[in-house]
Amino acid sequence: MTDNKKLILIADDDLDYLFQMEHYVKSFGFDVVKAESQKEAEILIENTKPDLAIFDLMMERDDSGFILCYKMKRKHPDVPIILATAVASETGISFGVSSNSDKQWIKADLYLEKGIRKDQLHKEINKLLKI
CATH (domain of 30): 3.40.50.2300
pLDDT, averaged across the chain: 85
Please, are residues 85 and 57 in contact by the beta-carbon 8 Å criterion? yes
| Residue 22: inside a domain | yes
**What average pLDDT does range 95-117 have in this prediction?**
67
pLDDT at position 58 is 83
In the sheet where 7-11 sits, what is the strand order? 31-35, 7-11, 52-56, 81-85, 110-113
**What average pLDDT does range 106-126 have in this prediction?**
88
| Residue 108: inside a domain | no
- Domain containing 94: what range? 7-99
Instruction: For Cα atoms 109, 92, 13, give the angle at the middle one, nearest 5 degrees.
Output: 60
Please, are residues 71 and 11 in contact by the beta-carbon 8 Å criterion? no
| Residue 83: inside a domain | yes
Tally of structural domains, the chain: 1
pTM: 0.84
**Cβ partners under 8 Å of residue 4, min gap 6:** none
| Residue 123: inside a domain | no
Please, are residues 84 and 112 in contact by the beta-carbon 8 Å criterion? yes
| Residue 119: inside a domain | no
pLDDT at position 106 is 62
| Residue 109: inside a domain | no
| Residue 115: inside a domain | no
